[in-house]
Amino acid sequence: MDFSFSPKVEELRANLLEFMESHVYPSERIYRDQSRAAGDPQFHPPVMEELKAEARSRGLWNLFMPDERYGAGLSNHEYAPLAEITGRSFLGPEALNCAAPDTGNMEILAEYGTPAQQKQWLQPLLDGEIRSCFAMTEPAVASSDATNIESSIARDGEHYVINGRKWFTSGAASPRCKIMIFMGVTNAGADAYHRQSMVLIPLDTPGVDVMRALPIFGFQHEGGHCEIDFKDVRVPIDNILGEEGSGFTIAQARLGPGRIHHCMRAIGMAERAYEAMCRRVLSRTAFGKELARQGVIQDWIAQARIQIEQARLLTLKAAWLMDTVGKEAARIEISAIKVVAPNVALWVIDHAIQAFGAAGVTEDFGLAEMYAAARTLRIADGPDEVHKMVIARRELARFIPKG
């Protein structure tokens, strides 16, 4: 087996690593200071626009886009080590225009959007001029099962009329968020997989009420995770994405098998926490010796290194299988890494926090926010249990007698 990357990826990696060192890490404190000084969680710190301009000038832009017409044209296996590096900082993904939920939205606009929809919404997203959100999850139903979604999209002449309540629509509270992809029921009489559609709703459409931006473990992110009420919201029928009844299929394309960007980034997060832990334990002495010389701490370091390496290799294998045999054939590996990566990141960050002592739970070292981010990944990218269900069903199918 050859684990090396192509010359193209090596070049991008070197460029990206240098960009992270010279620009991204030094901007973390500046971003937080600018945000705090504004006193408004929806304020967009100007340092982010400086980072975006620098990344774009270096060719580090839209790396996630596999289609060369829109982005870097990298395979999953090529993108994985780059996404890992961006995950090392909370600023990395947006600086490179590779942040969720825009990435998934850009992908489905590229795949299902009409030329007019692409011109109006995809292009400014690709240029990093606006942001977008994705509204599927509803407070009233168990939304890990997308067939449960209840909001309605009713045809009325040349318009659709939308009613319902969503929550956890990430990013919607930002003034830069201009377009939403909304999932709801258009064909109530159809089977569970063909009842729903997706429509594009500009955020300033009358009847869209962004009620609140939910904090995550007390952290208020720019754009928030919003609860939104939809009351008789009217959009032209041209705003449908794909065909009526294709909502579930598009949701699978967007969220389901094949999107392992979160996993790639989680490995980067784990690696950064690991490095912080190693430096910290070498710099502090307790009970007569460096923390790094305590057996228990050496055990954490070894365990962390083993787990990160395992997770990275499984991520790369899943990405490589997606490129070579396709998402369907890679389904077990994809579901497996969606469980493994956030849990490994969580374990490593938790032990880094412990190694830092009280400092670990403050915001001074970024570990507490990292912990919150990794913990939400065990739900946000589909709960662990749903990925395990997919694996178990496939595994059991191999043992069911034929005929």
Ligand X SMILES: Cc1cc2nc3c(=O)[nH]c(=O)nc-3n(C[C@H](O)[C@H](O)[C@H](O)COP(=O)(O)OP(=O)(O)OC[C@H]3O[C@@H](n4cnc5c(N)ncnc54)[C@H](O)[C@@H]3O)c2cc1C
Footprint of ligand X (CB under 6 A): 101, 134-137, 142-144, 168-170, 216, 225, 376, 379-380, 382-383, 385-386, 389
Cβ closer to ligand X: 194 or 387?
387
CB of residue 393 vs ligand X: minimum separation in angstroms? 10
Q: How far is CA 300 from CA 15, 122, 156, 348, 399, in A?
A: 31, 45, 61, 8, 38
**Chain length of the chain:** 403
Cβ closer to ligand X: 272 or 375?
375
Residue type, 316: L
Contact (Cβ atoms closer than 8 angstroms) between residue 247 and residue 198: yes
CB of residue 374 vs ligand X: minimum separation in angstroms? 11
Query: What is the token pair recorded at 271?
Result: 């690696």
Residue type, 263: C
CB of residue 188 vs ligand X: minimum separation in angstroms? 20
Cβ closer to ligand X: 359 or 386?
386
CB of residue 251 vs ligand X: minimum separation in angstroms? 9
Cβ closer to ligand X: 226 or 337?
226
Alpha-carbon 234 to chain mean position: 29
CB of residue 139 vs ligand X: minimum separation in angstroms? 8
Cβ closer to ligand X: 225 or 312?
225
Helices 102-112, 247-255: crossing angle, 10 deg rounding? 130
Task: List CB contacts of 220: < 8 A, sequence separation 6 or more.
Answer: 41, 213
Alpha helices, DSSP H, located in 165-215: none
Helices 76-86, 295-324: crossing angle, 10 deg rounding? 150
CB of residue 386 vs ligand X: minimum separation in angstroms? 5
Per DSSP, what are the bridge partners of residue 192?
A: none
Q: How far is CA 73 from CA 6, 18, 70, 371, in A?
A: 14, 22, 8, 32
Cβ closer to ligand X: 66 or 383?
383
CB of residue 147 vs ligand X: minimum separation in angstroms? 11
Cβ closer to ligand X: 81 or 268?
268
